[in-house]
Amino acid sequence: MAHEHKLEIFRGLLKFKSNVTKIWGVFTVLSIVTVVEVALGIIKPEWLTENRFMAMKLLNWIFIILTLAKAYYITWDFMHMRDEVKAMRRAVVWTGVFLICYLVLILLIEGDYIYEVYKSNYVKFNF
């Protein structure tokens, strides 16, 4: 079994000398991202909660994007996806991503629809 590891992250911007130093490097990245998330979650800057992009608060966009970034580094470096062949990566990631996007889209649209029905119907439910 060959165990060559690709030792670059950030598209080659950061190159590590060994796999172990890369692991600590990725851990640092994940920690920084988590600290930023928690700090934003506690502070909740007003301009991020009041402004929206595509019906979602900017703060939530930041949270979701940072989460996906974290997921990327966990999968790529901790689960060694970076070292697998391209077909393997795509078989796993694309399957998941497409199905999940579809599921989320359908369920959230339906949820919002039911909210509108509740709101504008003639049934009293707040009693």
Partner 1 sequence: MDATVAQTGTEGKTWGGGNRPLKASYGKMMMWFFIVSDALTFSGFLASYGFSRFKFIDSWPIADEVFTHVPFLHGVPAPMYYVAFMTFILIFSSVTMVLAVDAGHKMQKKKVIWYLFFTIIGGLIFVGSQAWEWATFIKGDYGAVETNGGKILQFLDKDGKRVAIGEFATTLPSTTETHTEGNGIWYMEGGTETSFNYEEVKAGFLANENLLIRDQELIPDMEALRASEDTADKQEVARLERSFINLDATGEKAIYSREMSVAKLVNDGKLVVEGANLKHNEYGTPLFADFFFFITGFHGFHVFSGVIFNLIIFFNVIIGTYERRGHYEMVEKVGLYWHFVDLVWVFVFTFFYLV
Query: Which residues would be at the binding site for partner 1 (CB under 8 A)?
Result: 1, 3, 19-20, 23-24, 27, 30-31, 34, 37-38, 41-42, 49-50, 60, 63-64, 67, 70-71, 74-75, 77-80, 84-85, 87-88, 91-92, 95-96, 99-100, 103-104, 107-108, 110-112, 114-115, 118-120, 124-127
Q: Give the C-alpha separation, 34 to 55, whole Å.
A: 25
Q: How far is the CB of 7 from partner 1 (least distance, A)?
A: 12
How far is residue 28 CA from its own chain's centroid?
17
- Rank residues 14 and 31 by Cβ distance to partner 1 and give the closer one: 31
Q: How far is the CB of 12 from partner 1 (least distance, A)?
A: 21
The strand pairing partners of 90, in sequence order, are: none
Q: How far is the CB of 11 from partner 1 (least distance, A)?
A: 21
Q: How many CA atoms lie within 13 A of 51 on its CB side?
A: 8
- Rank residues 14 and 117 by Cβ distance to partner 1 and give the closer one: 117
CB neighbourhood size of 77 (10 A):
23
Q: How far is the CB of 63 from partner 1 (least distance, A)?
A: 5
Q: Give the C-alpha separation, 25 to 2, whole Å.
A: 23
Structure tokens at 74: 């966990």
Structure tokens at 2: 């060959």
